[in-house]
Amino acid sequence: MKNYNKLINLIMVFGSGVFAESLFAAYRDFINHPEVYEINSAPWYYYSAVPNSVAYVAFIILCLLIKLAIHKRVGRIILGIIAVIAGVLWVTITLYTSTPHSYTIIGGADGPTSIFLAGKYGAGTIITAVVGGLVLAVAGILLIVKKGNKSDSKVD
C-alpha cells in the first residue's frame, strides 16, 4: 500500500507541474498573440486559466479519493459514485453540445430571410465521449458493488 501511496503522490506532483506549465503557456500565448484574444468578450484567463484550474482541482480531489479508496470501503463507494456521475455527465454534455459551430442570419428588406448553419458534428468526439463515459460509469458501478475483503478494515 505504501508503494501505491507514493505513486499517487508522485502523480499529484507531476499534475501540479503540468498545471503550472499550462498557465504559463496560456499567458505566453496571450502575450505573443493578443489579437486572438481581443475578439473575445471575456479576459484571456477565462478561456484558459479558469478551466485549467477547475480541472486541476478536480484532478487533486480525484487523487485524494483514490488514496482513500485504496484504504477504505467507503472511499471506494464515494469514488464509484463520482465515476458514475462523471461518466453520465461526460456523455450528456458532449451529446448536448454537438451542434453546428457557426450560424449566420441574412435578412433582407425585400426578400426572405436565410439562415445558414456550418460546422461538423465530430463523430470521433461523440464516439470518444460515449465510450469514455460508459467506461467510467461501469467502473464506478464495479467500485460500488465490489465486496470488501479483510484488508479493508486495516490501514497500512
Q: Which residue has the cell 484488508?
A: 151
The pLDDT of residue 130: 81
Tell me which residue of 133, 143, 139 sits closest to 88, measured CA to CA. 133
48 DSSP 8-state letter: T
Rounded distance between C-alpha atoms, residue 87 and residue 139, angstroms: 9
Q: Which residue has the cell 503550472?
A: 20
Do 118 and 54 share a structural domain?
no
Number of domains in the chain: 2
- Select from 35, 50, 71 the last residue of a domain: 71
> pTM for the complete prediction?
0.50
Do 103 and 54 share a structural domain?
no
The pLDDT of residue 31: 87
The pLDDT of residue 21: 87
The pLDDT of residue 43: 76
Q: What is the DSSP string of the chain?
A: -HHHHHHHHHHHHHHHHHHHHHHHHHHHHHHH-HHHHHTSSS-HHHHTHHHHHHHHHHHHHHHHHHHHHHH-HHHHHHHHHHHHHHHHHHHHHHHHH-S-SEEEEE--SSS--EEEEE----HHHHHHHHHHHHHHHHHHHHHHHPPP-GGGS---
> From the centroid of its chain, how far is CA 112?
43
Q: How many residues would you count in the chain? A: 156
- Select from 47, 71, 95 the last residue of a domain: 71
Do 78 and 63 share a structural domain?
no
- Tens of pLDDT, residue by residue, the chain (156 residues): 678 788 888 888 988 888 888 888 888 888 888 887 777 777 767 767 777 787 888 888 878 877 877 777 777 787 788 888 888 888 887 776 665 556 666 666 666 776 666 655 556 667 777 888 888 888 888 878 876 555 544 544
The pLDDT of residue 19: 86
Do 88 and 60 share a structural domain?
no
Q: Which residue has the cell 463507494?
A: 77
Do 102 and 42 share a structural domain?
no
Structural domain boundaries enclosing 80: 74-156
